[in-house]
Amino acid sequence: MASKALYSQRDPALKKRDDFEDILDERRNSSDLRYALRCYTPVLYKGMTPCKASTLKTIVLQSEQVRYVINQVSKEMGETPDIVQEEALAILEEMAQRLQLSTIRFFAFTLSKAFKALFQSVRVNEEGIQRLQQAIHEHPVVLLPSHRSYIDFLMMSYVLYTYDLALPVIAAGMDFLGMKFVGEMLRMSGAFFIRRSFGGDKLYWAVFSEYVKTMLRNGYAPIEFFLEGTRSRTCKSLTPKLGLLNIVMDPFFKGEVFDVSLVPISISYERVLEETLYARELLGVPKPKESTSGLLKARRILSEDYGSIHVYFGQPVSVRSLAQGRINRSEYNLIPRYIPRKSSEETQSFVNDTAYMLVRRQEENMVLRPWVLIAAVLMQNLDGLDLELLTKQTVWLRGLAGAFGAFLDWPDQTPADKVVASSLALHHGLVQATGGRVRLLEGPQDPASPEEALFDQAVGVLSCASYRNQVLHVFLRPALVAVALETANTSRNDDVYSSFLYLRNVFSNEFILCPGASVQDFEEGCYLLLKCGAIQMLQQDLVVTERGQPILSFLSGMLEPFLQGYQVVCRYFSEEASEGLTEKQYIPAVRSFAVKRILSEGLKCYEALSSDLQKNALAALLRMSALRKVKAADQVTLKVNTMAVKAIEDTLGGKVPAQKPVLARL
Amino acid sequence: MASNYNSSERQRIAQQRLKIIAGHLQKDGDGQPVRIFANDCKAEATDRRSSVARSMPKRRQEIMKWNGWGYSDSRFLFNKKGQAEFTGKRYRLSGLILPSLKDWFEGTFGANLQHKSPAVPSVSASTVPPPCLNEDFVQDVKASGVPYSHEAEDRMFRAHGHCLHEIFALREGKVGRVPDMVVWPNCHDDVVKIVELASKHNVCLIPYGGGTSVSSALECPPEETRSIVSLDTSQMNRILWIDEKNLTAHIEAGIVGQDLERVLNESGYCTGHEPDSMEFSSLGGWVATRASGMKKNIYGNIEDLVIHIKMVTPRGVIEKGCQGPRMSMGPDIHHFILGSEGTLGVVTEVTMKIRPIPEYQKYGSVVFPSFEQGVACLREIAKQRCAPASIRLMDNAQFQFGHALKPQVSSIFTSFLDGLKKFYITKFKGFDPHRLCVTTLLFEGDRERVLQHEKQVYDIAAKFGGLAAGEDNGQRGYMLTFVIAYLRDLGMEYYVIGESFETSVPWDRVLDLCRNVKERIVRECKEKGVQFPPMSTCRVTQTYDAGACVYFYFAFNYRGLADPVHVYDQVEHAAREEILANGGSLSHHHGVGKLRKQWMKESISNVGLGMLKSVKDFVDPDNIFGNRNLL
C-alpha cells in the first residue's frame, strides 16, 4: 500500500547528532564582511533557462495560461483585454520578487551580527545540504520549511548562502509589504508577495500560479513556501494548506518537468523569539501590525539569549516516485494544458496525502532540546514541583521519548541536573526555581482584576505549552491509544480501536493526523506502547501492564488539556451559545465563557482560552455535524445541534464510551 | 529441401542475373520502355520475370544476413588499425574509412574494442525445431503448384523481424518457434488458393513481406498448436499497369520499395513513398502497418497514396468497386485493412498514386543553437505549410553521432573548410557545441520553385536563430538513416545493444515529451543496473499541421548485466509508458504488433478494441491469420 510507505517509521540511525555543523562557529572566528562579499557560485539546475527577474514578468504575461484567463475575464467583465492585461501587470508588479545578490550580501552581513548576538549556535545537518545540492542540480526544487518564527525565511536564505547553494524565491504574505523599506528589502532578497485570500479572483490565481510555475519550470530558483501557510503560534504543526503545493506539482502532472523535488525542512528553536507574543495573540490581544518601527523596537531582544537553532534539511521527496501508480498523467492529454481546470479527485487526494506526509517529515525531523521535555512535565504540574522530582521525571521522559524515536538533542556528557538547570536558566522568563521548587512565573503581584490575573497566568501557561507542543507528535499516537484504553467499554482490541477512532476524528484539526491513515496510526500507537512494555497483547485484549501505568497516565495527561478544552467549547455551545451566533462573535464569546468557568470552578484548563484550540474545536464540531453553518443575508451563523454537542462532551469526558463506528476497519 | 529448387529454377535465376547485368550496361543507351503486364499471372511466365530486376530471391539468406540487418556484403567493422569502415559496394559509405567513429563509439558507450561479444557463426539445422506439418495441406499445396519449402534456413529466416530481442537471440544461436513451412505465391490467384486451403485444413497463415518489422509482428505465437505457414509475398512483385491519365499504378503487394521506385523511374514516375526501410520493406507491409515515408510532405503517407486495395481473407476477397478519389459510403473499408498487421488477410494488389519524377532535388541543413529553437522553427514551418519534402531535426547527441560518421576527408582544403565552419558556428556565432542541433532538409520539385521554397524555409529558420549549414550535412543525415541499422550490428559485436522507437505527439508537447522520455531512459537504465550511461537521443522526423513524429534512439553498453535483453525490454517499456503519459501515441508508423499490444485498450478505448475484434471475428472466425498482432 502506497500510503503505508509514506508513513513508515523513520530509521533513528539516520539522525546522528554529529552530523550537525554550527555555522555560527566560523562567523565568530572570521570576518563577517569578507563572508558577505565572498565569491558566490552556487550549483544550478541543469535544465535551467537563464533569465532575469524582469523577463519573468514578460514570460508570465505572454503565457498561454494567463492570456487565456485574460480573454475569459475580459469577456465576462465586458472590458477590453488590454485593460485586463493592465490589471494582470499590476498584480504581477505587486507580487514579483527582485532577487539580487547585493541585498543578500547585506543580509549576510547584518544577520551574521544579529544571529551571533541572539543565538548560541545555528546547527545545520551537512548531509542534508549535500543531498539538497544534488537535488537542485537534478530537478526543480521546492523548499518546505516549518514555520515557527518570522526569521524562518531569513534563516533559510542565510543558510543557503552560507553553503553556496542556489538562493530561493519565497512566497510571503502581503502583510509584509505594509512595512516600509523592509518589504522592499525582502523583495530584493527573493520574497514574492501573495494576498492572503483571493477566493474567486480568477485573474489573480492565474497570474500567481503561472508566476510560480514559470520560475519552477525554468529552474529560475528553488521555490520556497510554508506548507502550514502561516506561523504556528502554538509550535504544533498546522494542517497543511494545499494551494501552493498544487501549483508546484502541476508542472509534473502536465509533463512540463521530468520531476520535482520536495524538500521538507525543520527549523527548531530552543527558544522562540516570539514566545509570549504568540501567547498574547492566542489570548486575543491583537497581533501588532507589521511595521518597521515595531521591528526596531524589537531590538531589545538582541540582548537576550535564545539558545540554539537546528535546521534539518530532510530527504528530498520525488513527486514522480510518489505519483507512481497513483496519478495517471495521461488525463491531461485531451485538453490543452493552459486551460485551467479542477484537478481530479485522485489528484486532490494525492496532493493532500503528500502535504500531510511532508508535514509529518517536518515534525519528525524537529530537533528536540531537553527543555521541551521539562515543559511537558511542567504542564502536568501547573502548581509546580520539586526540582529533584522534575529532573527525575524529565530523565524518565527522555527515556520514553527515545524509545518512541524522538529526535532528541540531549547533551550526554553533562549530568542531568546540570542539563535541567541550564534549560531553566535559558527560560528564566517563563519559569522560576526558588527554594528547590520549580513553577511557572506568576504575573505582576497586584493585578487590576481577577480576569487580568488569569490572563497573566495564561500567558505563562500557553508559552510553556508551546514547548510541550513541540514534542507532542512523538507521543500523540500512543497517547490517543492511552486515552482510548481509559474510555473504551472493554479492553478488547476493536473496542479500543473504536474509541481511538473517535478521538482521532475529534482531534484531526488539532494534530497532524493523515486522512485515511487511522489503522496505521492505531497500529503505530499500539506498537510503541508494546515496545516500551506499557501494554500487552493477550489474544483480543490490550492489557495495561504494571509498568505501563505511569506511562499511560502521563500520556493521557498530555492530552488532558485538549480534552478539557474541547469539553469547555462543547459546554459553551450546549449551555450558552445564543441563537444567531456568528462566526466572528464565536471566539470572544467562548473565551469569556471559559474565563468565567475557570474563575468560578477553579478549573486549570487555561488552554481552553487559546483561540487556536477554539478554532480547531469549532472545525471539529462542524465536521462532526454537531454544528451547522447557516447563511442568512450576508452573515453566517452557527446552528447548534445540542444533543450532538452534549454527546461529544460526554464522550470526551469519559462519561459514555464512543459509539462503535459502523465500519471498524480492524 | 534442395529438391524444391529444381534446375529450371536455378537456370531462371542465372538468366535473371544476366538480364540485370545487361540492364546495367545498356541503361542509358536506348531508353527501353518498361513493359507493363496484364493482370493474369498464368499466361506470361517468361515475360513476367524480365519485368522486375528482382532484388529479393526466394532464398533471401543468399544475399542477406540471417542474424542482422541488410545485405551480407555490407557491414561496419573496426579494421586492424582500429578504424571503422563500411564494407561492400552498395552505399555511398561503402568502402570508406570513418576515422572518428571509434572515438565516438568508445566515448559514448564506454565500450572498448578489446571487449568483443561476437555472434555464433551459424546455426545448425538441428537447432531449428522440426516442422509440424499438416500433411493434407502440404499435399494440396503441392497439387496447386505454388512453390513451397520446409527447409530449416527458409523457415528460420521468416520467424523474426528486427526487434532487438529477436536479433540478439539469433546472434546467440537461439531459435524459438519458427514457421513450419514457407509458401511463395506468384500472384493474387495463388494467394486465394493458399488461403482457401489454409481455411480448409485449419493451418495458421502469417503473411511475410520484407521482414523489417520492429514490433514482434512476425514472431510465431508460442501458444499456436496448428501448423504455421509463412506466406512470403516476395514473388508477387510486378507492376501490372500504369495509368498515365489518372497517374496511378496497379502493383502487386510483394514488391519492395527500391524495386518499385526503380521500375517506376524507368518510365519517368515515382511514388515518392520512401520509408527508411524501403530497401527491404514491401508494399503489402506498408499497407498492413500504415507506413510513413520520409517525403510524406509532398506525397503523403501510405493511406494518402493508396487508391484501391485487394486483400484475400478467409471470407473471400475484399476490394472496392471503383477507383474514385474520395468516397462517402460509410466508414472507409481501406481503414480496416490499413494497419491490420496481417490479422485479417493478405494484401495482394494495390493501386497507388504515382507522380512524375521531380526535376530537381536539393539537400540542405540548418544549425540551431538549441533543440528548443529547432522545434519552434519546425512548428512555424508546419504552420505556414511550407515544409520541404523532408525536414528532420536531430538533437545534439544525434548531431554528434552524425559527425562521427563523417568519412575520411580527401584533401587538406576540405578539412580546413570544416574547421573554419566549426569556428564560425561555435566561436563567432556563439553556439554551444553541446547544445546546438541540426535540421536536415530535402527539397523536390522544379528547379525554380525549389530555390524559392528553399529561401522561404531558410528565412523562417533565420528567425529562430538557425544558420544554413550546407548540403553535405543534409545529405549525410539522410544517408545515416539507411546505415543506422547496420550500425546496431556493429554495436552488438562490442556489448552495445540498442533500438529505435517512435511516436507522434501534438506540437505543444514535443519538447516536454522529448525531454521526459530521454531522461526516463537514463534514469531507468541507472535503476536497472546498467553500468554505463546510455545513449538516449531523439529527433523530430515528420511535421504535421497539429503535431510531429518523434523518433528515439536508445542504446547502452551491457557489460556486467546478466540479462541485457530483459533490461532493455524493461527500459523500453518504461519509455513507452512515459510517452503515453506525455500525450504521445502508441506508434506513428511502426505499428503495434505483439510488442505494444498491452497498451491498445488505453489507446483506443474498450469500445474501439471491441470494434476491431468484431471485424476480426467476422473476417477470420477461425483465426487462420493467427499472428496475434494488434488485438
The complex's ipTM works out to 0.87
Instruction: Please list the rounded mean pLDDT of every run of 10 residues in chain B (631 residues).
Output: 49 52 42 42 43 74 94 94 92 90 94 93 90 96 95 95 96 95 97 97 97 96 96 96 96 96 95 95 97 96 97 97 94 96 98 96 95 97 96 93 82 66 75 90 95 96 93 85 90 95 97 97 96 96 97 96 96 97 97 97 96 97 97 92
Angle value at C-alpha B20, between B19 and B21, nearest 5 degrees: 90
Residue A462 confidence (pLDDT): 93
Phi/psi of residue A169, nearest 5 degrees: -100, 140
- Three-state DSSP state, B220: coil
Residue B35 confidence (pLDDT): 42
User: B528 Cβ partners below 8 Å, 6+ apart?
Assistant: B567, B570, B571
A218 Cα to chain B: minimum distance (Å) = 12
Residue A286 confidence (pLDDT): 59
The torsion of the CA quartet B193, B199, B202, B206, rounded to 10 degrees, works out to 70
CB contact under 8 A, B512 and A336: no
- What residue in B sits closest to A330 (Cα-Cα)? B581
Residue B323 confidence (pLDDT): 93
A336 Cα to chain B: minimum distance (Å) = 9
Q: Which of B486, B551, B553, B568 is catalytic?
A: B551
**Under 8 Å between Cβ of A128 and A314:** yes
Q: Rounded to an integer, what distance in angstroms lies between the CA atom of residue B601 and that of residue B612?
A: 11
Q: Rounded to an integer, what distance in angstroms lies between the CA atom of residue B359 and that of residue B182?
A: 42
- Could you tell me which of B501, B428, B454 has the C-alpha nearest to residue B162? B501
* CB contacts, 8 Å: B516 with chain A: 255, 258
- What residue in B sits closest to A138 (Cα-Cα)? B519
Tens digit of pLDDT for each residue in A292-311?
666 656 666 667 889 999 99
DSSP class of residue B508 equals: G
Chain B interface disruption, residue of A48, A65, A257, A258, most B CBs within 10 A: A258
A331 Cα to chain B: minimum distance (Å) = 8
- The one-letter code for the residue type at B222 is P
In this structure, what C-alpha cell is assigned to residue A568? Answer: 469547555
Phi/psi of residue A248, nearest 5 degrees: -75, -20
Q: Establish whether B29 is an annotated binding residue.
A: no
Residues of A within an 8 Å Cβ radius of B: 47, 254-256, 258, 328-330, 332-333, 336-337
Residue A14 confidence (pLDDT): 43
B552 Cα to chain A: minimum distance (Å) = 17
CB contact under 8 A, B581 and A336: no
What stretch of H or E contains A111? helix A101-118
- The one-letter code for the residue type at B520 is R
**Under 8 Å between Cβ of B558 and B396:** no
Q: Establish whether B275 is an annotated binding residue.
A: no
CB contact under 8 A, B508 and A336: yes
Residue B363 falls in the annotated catalytic set: no
Residues of B within an 8 Å Cβ radius of A: 508-509, 512-513, 515-516, 519-520, 580-583, 602
Q: A346-366 in b/e burial notation, b at 16+ Cβ within 10 A?
A: ebeebbbbbbbbbbbbbbbbb
Residue B66 confidence (pLDDT): 94
| Residue numbers in chain A where pLDDT is lower than 50 | 1-15, 17-18, 661-666
Q: Rounded to an integer, what distance in angstroms lies between the CA atom of residue B109 and that of residue B495?
A: 9
- What residue in A sits closest to B581 (Cα-Cα)? A330
CA distances from B207 to A572, B112, B213 (A): 84, 41, 12
Hey, which residues does A630 pair with through a beta bridge?
Answer: A637
CA B433 to chain centre: 31
Residue B417 confidence (pLDDT): 66
| A149 exposure class (CB count in 10 Å sphere: 0-12, 13-18, 19+) | buried
Residue B275 confidence (pLDDT): 95
- The one-letter code for the residue type at B495 is Y
- Three-state DSSP state, A6: helix
Percentage of chain B beyond pLDDT 70 is: 90
User: B215 Cβ partners below 8 Å, 6+ apart?
Assistant: B161, B163, B289, B341, B587, B590, B591, B592, B593, B594, B595, B596, B629
**Under 8 Å between Cβ of A192 and A176:** no
Q: Rounded to an integer, what distance in angstroms lies between the CA atom of residue B548 and that of residue A387?
A: 77
Q: What's chain A's length in residues? A: 666
Total beta-carbon pairs less than 8 A apart between chain A and chain B: 25
CA distances from A577 to A128, A321, A571, A590, B236 (A): 51, 49, 9, 8, 94
CB contact under 8 A, A47 and B508: no
